[in-house]
Structure 1
Amino acid sequence: MQEQKKRMERLAEVKAKVEKKLGSVSSELQNHEKKTQEDEQQLGSLRQSLAQLSDRERELLDFRMVVSQMLSLDATAPPLPNHQIIKSLETLLHTHHHYHHLYHRVNTPWQCPTHRRPHLCPNQDLHDSSSLDSTSRSAHPEDTVPL
């Protein structure tokens, strides 16, 4: 009987250790499951962000292609750098602004951002109208822009 009592005590100790270990492993498993769930949510969010960025990139590439075609740039060539497209747009807009202010009789001087000088309209009085260039109507002939 003494022996059985010792065995029972030992079994009780082993059972307590196993239960403690099981509780620890169970808690660790729950922590891993929670971490896995958080990682899956983050992965889903990152996938969604990547899809949005891919769509945005595709839209930007389409926009660049349309702008390049509108500027008569070679769309079949390798993609042009942004600065080249911007320079073409600036040139086009600069010419348009000169044309608009020359031929649409705007009665205010226009500060050309490229030349940093006011350009006068044809109907504005100048002390020396002979110094005006017929292309840009600028008081500074060195600033002429061919149309």
Structure 2
Amino acid sequence: DRYVVDCMIKNNFNLGGEQSGHIVMMDYTTTGDGIIAGLNILATIIKEQKPLSHYSNIIEPYPQVLFNIKVKEKKDYNLISEIKIVVDSADKEIKEKNGRLFIRYSGTEPKLRIMIESRDEKIIEKWQNELKDVFERYLGGNNG
């Protein structure tokens, strides 16, 4: 939840979540809490007097890929110009297609975690390959 909350604070979001099912509602707590999320869903259903199925199409899922890069050392990759150029280019193109790029180091393993999300699967594939190549080249890891 830590990275979700950090992103929420940075972007002034009130609602955030992750694929594991954790939902964070900043009005109530800074951690994923299923009971609070469930109670808020029930409150919305009662207030709006609409069935749960009414809300099922609100969020449009995009194709997404998650992958890890093994690293020798958790360096600030933004200080490595070759990596920064590729990351900045990827971020720009992915955002232009209403997608997202999220890169962070694992908190427990020598790995870099990368998530790419876009409606355009060709964009995902292109940047997955390019990011994997540049990070492995400069941070000394293998995909894992």
Same fold (TM over 0.5): no
Greater fraction strand = 2
**Please, what TM-score do these two structures have when normalized by structure 2?**
0.21
**Please, what TM-score do these two structures have when normalized by structure 1?**
0.21
Greater fraction helix = 1
Larger radius of gyration: 1
